[in-house]
Homo-oligomer: A and B are copies of this chain.
Amino acid sequence: MKNNVKVARVHVDLTQQQLAEKVGVTRQTISLIEKGKYNPTLKLCLAICYAVNQSLDEIFWVDQEGLLDEKSKG
């Protein structure tokens, strides 16, 4: 699950801890999402979008081939 959370977070000058507090999760969760190790829920994706003032497509869109790569990468 690649995404643009880290770039967007740095762009609005927030640490992982601050973003975590803003969206109501732990720093650990933010870290794992940035690292692509979690498949976050829609609600959390939206909360992150609000916090960094960007859209779902801007932060979380990956095209179909990208997703397929994830699976066949194993």
Contact = CB atoms under 8 A, between A and B. Distances in A.
A47 B1 CA distance: 12
SS of A interface (majority): helix
Q: What is the count of identical protomers in the complex?
A: 2
| A interface, size bucket | 10 to 19
A41 to B, nearest CB: 5
Interface in A38-53: 39-43, 45-47, 50
Give the 5 A-B residue pairs with the shortest CB-CB distance, closest first.
A56-B56, A39-B43, A39-B41, A50-B64, A57-B57
A12 interface: no
A56 B56 CA distance: 6
Interface of A: 1, 39-43, 45-47, 50, 55-57, 60-62, 64, 67
